[in-house]
Amino acid sequence: MTREIAVTGATGQVGGRVAAQLAASGVPHRLLVRGSVPSPGTRVSIGAGYADGPAVRGALEGVGTLFLVSGRESADRVAEHRTVIDAAVAAGVERIVYLSFLGAAPDCTFTFGRDHWHTEQHIRGTGLGFTFLRDSFYTSMLPALVGPDGVLRGPGGTGRVSAVAPGDVADVVTAVLTDPGPGERTYELTGPEAISLAEAAEELGRRVGRPIRYHEETVAEAYASRAVHGAPDFEVDGWVTSYVAIADGSLSRVSDAVERLTGHPATTFAQYLDANPESYAHLR
């Protein structure tokens, strides 16, 4: 019997699509979800989440491949990832497909991207098979950056971002889960073009019928404008450096991996907006 695929992040925009595609194809799989599980079927509880090593290990018994979506951004996210990975090793999992981030490195500009690099290194050290899918920022993120006043503020300069559609990422994940290919692989998942924040604002403005504009902040201004939220320092650092990574070109690379792995072209930002008007409904 084929060993199951375990899917984390199944309530998210990528994991949810992957779960639906696996179900439609009849691929044996289970969904790891946080908390209690009132309904039967493929959902398996992992109690308190990624930090609950024994629960994760139990949930992964009999699994051949784990699709690991990063945990929520937190001060101890890397430790939680290590717990899940170690539980996978203990449960006899053979391969991990990890949803990482474009340009993941120990010193990358985007501070949360460093978490992904450390997670990748821990996976490498286990001896398990792996595929790392380093995706760019999601196209769905760009409309969410615009304030109620129709202004997208941040220290993104004139840099460009090769934003990728969540649906494209899910298609790649499903392809990799069901047809792993030879060896250990790392793929960069991007849209077909890199756009500036000013261009993203203009594209949104054309759809909502009012001006949407990009206002370039300095880094100091960005920290000051976000301090009012009372978020911890690590979180504010992540917010601000996401723009700085756009400004310094860290997120401008364009890859053809989506088309190579799925057989269909990657979705442009304009095409994403056409297909998902709900993503900018709050701007009308």
pLDDT mean over 217-236? 95
Q: Which of 34-48, 204-218, 235-249 shows the lowest mean pLDDT across its residues?
A: 34-48
Instruction: Quote the pLDDT of residue 180.
Output: 74
Instruction: Indicate the pTM of the whole model.
Output: 0.95
Quick check: 196 pLDDT over 50? yes
Mean pLDDT value of segment 185-209: 97
Q: How far apart are CA 129 and CA 76, in angstroms?
A: 25
The pLDDT value recorded for residue 78 is: 96
Identify the bridge partners of residue 131 per DSSP, sorted by sequence position: 97, 185
- Given this model, what pLDDT does residue 40 score? 45
For the chain, which domains are there?
4-135+166-189+254-264 (3.40.50.720)
Residue 73 has what pLDDT? Answer: 82
Residue 254 pLDDT > 80: yes
pLDDT of res. 72 = 80
Is 50:80 a contact under the CB 8 Å cutoff? Answer: yes
Average pLDDT of the residues of the chain: 93
Region of residue 80 (phi > 0: left; psi between -120 and 50: alpha; otherwise: beta) = alpha
Would you say residue 181 has pLDDT above 90? no
The per-residue DSSP string of the chain comes to -PPEEEES-TTSTTHHHHHHHHHHHT--EEEEESB---S-SSEEE-BT-TT-HHHHHHHTTTEEEEEEEPPPS-TTHHHHHHHHHHHHHHHT--EEEEEEETT--TT-SSHHHHHHHHHHHHHHHHT-EEEEEEE--BTTHHHHTB-TTSEEEES-TT-EE--B-HHHHHHHHHHHHH---SS-EEEEE--SS-EEHHHHHHHHHHHHTS--EEEEPPHHHHHHHHGGG---HHHHHHHHHHHHHHHTTTT-----HHHHHHSSPPPPHHHHHHH-GGGGGGG-
Q: What is the pLDDT of residue 77?
A: 93
Q: Which residues pair with 32 in a beta bridge?
A: 44
**pLDDT in the model for residue 27:** 94
Distance of CA 39 to the CA centre of its chain: 27
Report pLDDT digits (tens) over 101-151: 999 999 999 999 999 999 999 999 999 999 999 999 999 999 999 999 999
Both tokens of residue 47? 């109690």
* Location of structure tokens 């993941």: 104
pLDDT of residue 232: 95
Render pLDDT for 66-106 as a digit per residue (tens, 0 to 9). 999 988 888 899 999 999 999 999 999 999 999 999 999 99
Segment 10-30 mean pLDDT: 93
CA separation for the pair 150, 211 (Å, rounded): 7
